[in-house]
Amino acid sequence: MTTKARKSSKADPLLDLPRWAQKLAQKYYTKTVCTFLLYGAVRDLQPITQADGSRGFGTLKTFLSEELFGGRDHVIFYDRSSGIRAAAPETQKDLQRAMAGYDALYGTDYAKSLPRDPGRALQILENFLRLRLGEGKSMALIIDFAETLVPGGEMSHLSSEDRFVVATLDKWAHDPQFLANDISVVLLAENLSDISPRIARNPYVAPIELPLPLEEERLDYVRSKLEGKRLQSISDVPLAALAKMTAGLSRINLDRVLTEALEREVRITPELLKEKKKELIQAECHGLLEFIEPAHTLDAVAGHAKAKEMLRAAANALKKGRNEVMPMGYLISGPVGTGKTFLVSCFAGEIGIPVVKFLNFRSQWQGVTEANLERIFTLLKALWPVAVMVDEADTFLGNRDSGGDSGTSSRVFGSIASFMGNTQYRGKIVWFLMTARPDLLPIDLKRQGRAEEHLALFYPSTDAERDELFQVMQKKTGVSVDVPSFSALLPEQASQFSGADIEAVMVRAKFRALTAGREQVTEEDLKAVMADFVPPSYPMEIELQNLVAVQECTSRELLPEPFRSLERDSITRRVRELKMLLEEQ
């Protein structure tokens, strides 16, 4: 492969290239493919060698034309916006001469102005490529914004021009002349799912993902950016910590943070870095993910002693870097109001890793949902270690049998299930699927190898547990009231108070005190609210949610005593009865 790196005196010239470029070069050397589809962080900066031999960074197209294909006779760029352009003046002149001959033969006027539309541009490019390949020249054609030329979707839905482009690129991919000569056709796109399956899944096309920079690559970029400057003059965060804390940022995003610090003298602090990172990544995700800042550790969780013990053990394993013993994910089930979301947030706070929550990534437009999901997966791989929170997982993630949308939902479900089950991410991406109805969650997601540990949470069943929960809710709501025992204030029929119910009571008590012109909540306020408060009552729904949580729980110690002794057969029968009764309602 004619690259700058190949001219190096090193035993293996590919070692100087990024990993993705090494993969491309290795595939090129097999002589079985000449078309490459680069997707992912194609808008990020890449390491390049400057004219003076020093190391710098430039765009991907600069890297391809100067580093990877620097020794080619001709390197040409094409996209819908800019049209056909040559990387070097010599190639541009040669292209003009070839177009003059083309004009004389076909009566066109392309030597003066090259067309930009794909229909004519690809015909011109093919003519030029074949002409120079016949002379033994080495070539590279880089096509940017490939999704605008070969968009995803069914062939029958494409325009005639788009179908022509798909057919042309498909033909080039397995053309004997192209495969036998020194030519590379490189397509660039941000999302693989945006590209027509006829190209993306073509056995003669090599798809290669460009990931976001790893920690050592971010460290290398920061050193290059700050060359000749002292980091301490602009940052409270040491160099190694800065590279570690910017996981999930591209080099361009990292450049924004450093440039702001250098030019506007905005000092980099851990708090600023965290906020900037959150802002930049959420902007990159276009609202597909929400960052949740853990404000508490597991010490803030009332009750659920065994669940906390299991999560603390997992947190210790992560802190020690023992990813191989970590579950791929957790299924957190239990009735509404038992604090499932709060428990997961506190687990993340226990080990200091970022927590992201899936937002609505689905779209009514064909191909957009798959592209959104691909963008999310790319970010998660760059962010690790990261906890991924999926609330109402039974309805949010769908299933394999979803229909009525040309198979999009089933494909999305398959992609999520496959990503969750990739053991390469064990201990790096920890999934938390939360639901009050785990029986509705497809078995594909809750089997071993995906959501492996099933934790069940229940309402406090003893006075001690209710009093502990009351103490926690005082901290959460900011309502401080001195009572001997909260449980003693509960009416007999309200013994199944959830954490959400207790929080609602305390907020009402605060409101009552403010209405009376007082800041301090008294025991009388609490008693008055308790006497008036009627929590929503859904006895059959709550019983069903309790029983299906018992069914799913993978640890007997997590179950309260009344449930621990129940026979599985009797639970199954009662669940069926409750479902039938609820359907009748």
Write the pLDDT tens digit of every residue in 74-99. 999 999 999 999 999 999 999 999 99
Mind listing the pLDDT tens digit for each residue in 316-352?
888 787 888 888 999 999 888 888 888 888 888 887 7
In angstroms, the CA 542 to CA 316 distance is 34
Residue 503, both tokens? 């929080």
- The pLDDT score that the predictor gives to residue 367 is 65
Q: Where are the domains of the chain?
A: 5-210, 215-285, 291-456, 464-585
- The pLDDT score that the predictor gives to residue 404 is 52
Q: Angle between the 463-477 and 499-515 helix axes, to the nearest 10 degrees? A: 50
Contact 59, 252 (CB under 8 A): no
- The pLDDT score that the predictor gives to residue 542 is 86
137 or 556, greater pLDDT: 137
- The pLDDT score that the predictor gives to residue 195 is 92
Residue 101, both tokens? 């001959």
Please give the mean pLDDT across all residues of the chain.
Answer: 85
Segments in 424-490 forming alpha helices (H): 443-446, 463-477
Contact 416, 326 (CB under 8 A): no
In angstroms, the CA 414 to CA 397 distance is 10
Segments in 209-250 forming alpha helices (H): 215-225, 239-245
CATH of span 291-456: 3.40.50.300
CA count, 13 A, side-chain hemisphere, 355: 22
Contact 487, 463 (CB under 8 A): yes
Mind listing the pLDDT tens digit for each residue in 346-364?
888 887 777 888 877 766 6
The CA-CA-CA angle for residues 159, 165, 171, to 5°, reads 135
Residue 540, both tokens? 């059959």
Tell me which residue has tokens 């010239």.
13
Q: Angle between the 118-133 and 160-173 helix axes, to the nearest 10 degrees? A: 20
State the architecture of 5-210 in CATH terms: 3-Layer(aba) Sandwich (3.40)
CATH number of the domain at 215-285, out of 1.10.8, 1.10.287, 1.20.120, 3.30.930?
1.10.8
- The pLDDT score that the predictor gives to residue 6 is 42
Contact 220, 174 (CB under 8 A): no
Q: Angle between the 215-225 and 251-263 helix axes, to the nearest 10 degrees? A: 30
In angstroms, the CA 456 to CA 441 distance is 15
- The pLDDT score that the predictor gives to residue 264 is 82
Name residue 188's beta-bridge partners.
38
Contact 311, 347 (CB under 8 A): yes
CATH of span 464-585: 1.10.8.60
- The pLDDT score that the predictor gives to residue 65 is 95
What's the rounded mean pLDDT across residues 228-233? 78
Mind listing the pLDDT tens digit for each residue in 440-489?
888 888 888 888 889 999 888 778 888 888 888 888 788 888 888 888 87
Is pLDDT above 70 for 402?
Answer: no
In angstroms, the CA 538 to CA 544 distance is 10
**Measured torsion, CA atoms of residues 117, 118, 120, 125, in degrees rounded to the nearest 10:** 120
CB atoms within 10 A of CB 450: 22
Residue in 40, 81, 80, 43 with CA at minimum distance from that of residue 61: 43
Residue in 498, 555, 547, 506 with CA at minimum distance from that of residue 528: 506
Mind listing the pLDDT tens digit for each residue in 417-437?
888 888 888 888 889 999 999
Strands 329-333, 55-58: pairing is unpaired
CB atoms within 10 A of CB 207: 18
SS3 content of the chain, % helix, strand, coil (to 5): 50, 15, 35
In angstroms, the CA 173 to CA 396 distance is 39
What is the pTM for the complete model shown? Answer: 0.72
Name residue 430's beta-bridge partners.
387
Mind listing the pLDDT tens digit for each residue in 363-400?
666 667 777 888 888 878 877 778 888 888 888 776 66
pLDDT category at 13 given cuts 50, 70, 90 is low
